Amino acid sequence: MTPLTSKYALEIVNLKKAFGGLAVTHDISLAIKPGERRLIIGPNGAGKTTLFNQISGDLRPNSGEIRLFGTDVTKFSSHRRAHLGLSRTYQIITLFAGDTLEHNVTLGLLGLRPSRWQMWQPLSYYGDLATEARQTLDAVGLLHLADHPVSDIAYGEKRRVELAMALAQKPRVLLLDEPLAGLSNTERSQVKSLISSIPRATTVIMIEHDMDTALDLAETVTLLNYGRVIVDGERDAVIADERTREVYLGV
């Protein structure tokens, strides 16, 4: 293992992934600094979610390298990456529908603790887990629903539970896959202020289509198209770039 003192929180080098003959990510390289807020944009099919799935370990790249704080994690399974401080949310809501909000967030906490292997005490034995889960739910404004099953709550609230599960883990690198998808205007601004309140100890990388909201949250922007990085850099420079207009804004 390479030492954990690295200039970058996340480094991606020449990442390539093809499904059959179709290359979905094609030679992508990125370097993201600790604490950075990076927005990844691109039209449908640009390879954004496929890129996330490779970073989180759901998919193995055909070639290339992924480094988390200098550690090469390309061959690590998802759960090992989580223990190195990587956390993510899903574009399609992936929650435990039958369980309460508190239980959902508690699972997020449990995943990083040795007590997840413990076979004789119930989860309720660890009171600190429940307390912490409720604190996180409070932070996303859902404490009043803590004892309700996820299947009972509204879509916009589920989006916030997605976020709460990831935030509870206090990740060093957080991947947000369209956290604003399908939200109303009010919900959008709620989630937006939630994301902007994430501490700087967490590096945030976000895929988002809603440019109006997302650009405010970003410092740097990467534009993908056909599995390649088209433009990459400071937010304003990327927006001003001609290729961005061509590919994405359609102007």
For the CB of residue 230, give the shortest distance to another protein in the complex, in Å: 28
For the CB of residue 95, give the shortest distance to another protein in the complex, in Å: 7
- Tokens of residue 151, six digits: 């299947």
For the CB of residue 66, give the shortest distance to another protein in the complex, in Å: 15
Closest CA to 179 of 149, 140, 134: 140
For another protein, which is the closer residue by CB, 56 or 220?
A: 56
CA 16 – CA 19 distance, rounded (Å): 10
SS3 249: helix
SS3 219: coil
Burial of 238 (0-12, 13-18, 19+ CB in 10 A): buried
Chain contacts with another protein (rule: CB under 8 A): 56-58, 77-79, 82-83, 87-88, 90, 94-98, 103, 106-108, 110-112, 115-123, 125-126, 165, 169
For another protein, which is the closer residue by CB, 151 or 189?
A: 151
Residue pointed to by tokens 């961005």: 244
For another protein, which is the closer residue by CB, 44 or 117?
A: 117
CA 136 – CA 70 distance, rounded (Å): 29
For another protein, which is the closer residue by CB, 128 or 242?
A: 128
For the CB of residue 54, give the shortest distance to another protein in the complex, in Å: 13
For another protein, which is the closer residue by CB, 29 or 91?
A: 91
Question: How many Cβ atoms are within 10 Å of 67's Cβ, its own excluded?
Answer: 18
With contact defined as beta carbons under 8 Å apart, do 143 and 101 qualify?
A: no
For the CB of residue 200, give the shortest distance to another protein in the complex, in Å: 23
